[in-house]
Amino acid sequence: MRKLIISTVIAATAATGAFAQSPSDVAKARRAYFTLVGFEMSTLGAMAQGKIDYDADVASQAAKDLAALTGYTMSDLFAPGTSNDDLPGETRAKADIWADMPGVQDKGMAFYQAVAELNGVAGNGLEALQPAVGKLGGTCKACHDDYRAKDF
Ligand code: HEC
């Protein structure tokens, strides 16, 4: 099974510290990544909540796009020196992330697995979609609760 590539590569990049981008660029890219995650999730969430009609193709596409995003190598998005302590007003990523990479990895794996499960059922009707979206939403919240500040 493919693994979500967060902590192993983070550890490696943290060790070398080799980045071409400025810390602000990293924070911008990280937020852009999560904007895409949120974009796909809002389609799925609205469907699961009955705010838009269930459509098997649209649900499957959104799930597939989330799967593509879980294949993205996130290590460079979590370059050291890019927490909200380092860049106040530019990011909500808490310094706790860099102090607890194994914890972040656990939350990331739960997210990855929920996306994989969602991909198995997204096209199988609203009743199948709803619990999978609920479970996925729980994994977003779990990581945000610990590692994302409420405000900038
Ligand atoms: C492994 C941890 C983790 C998981 C899992 C996770 N997020 Fe996040 N998310 C973050 C962090 C950290 C930030 C703050 C990024 C920043 O400000 O630099 C964030 C920021 C965001 C943002 C705001 C982006 C912006 O423009 O500032 C959205 C939207 C978002 N996440 C949606 C989601 C959704 C939806 C899910 C689940 C489908 C999810 N996230 C799963 C850690 C996570």
For residue 1, the model assigns a pLDDT of 46
Q: Give the Å distance between the CA of 12 and the centre of ligand 1.
A: 22
For 28-68, the pLDDT digits (tens) are 999 999 999 999 999 999 999 999 999 999 999 999 999 99
On whether 144 is known to bind a ligand per the annotation, the reply is yes
> Which pLDDT does position 20 carry in this prediction?
81
Which pLDDT does position 14 carry in this prediction? 55
Sign of torsion over alpha carbons 47, 113, 97, 7? negative
- Which residues of the chain fall short of a pLDDT of 70? 1-19
Does the annotation place 143 within a ligand binding site? yes
Indicate the helix (H) or strand (E) that contains 112: helix 101-121
Cα–ligand 1 centroid distance for 92 (angstroms): 9
Distance of CA 13 to the CA centre of its chain: 19
Cα of 53 vs centre of ligand 1, distance in Å, is 26
Residue type present at position 13: T
Phi, psi of 148 (to 5 degrees): -120, 125
* SS3 state of residue 122: coil
For residue 121, CA distances in Å to 59, 107, 126 come to 9, 22, 9
Note the CATH architecture for domain 7-12+21-147.
Up-down Bundle (1.20)
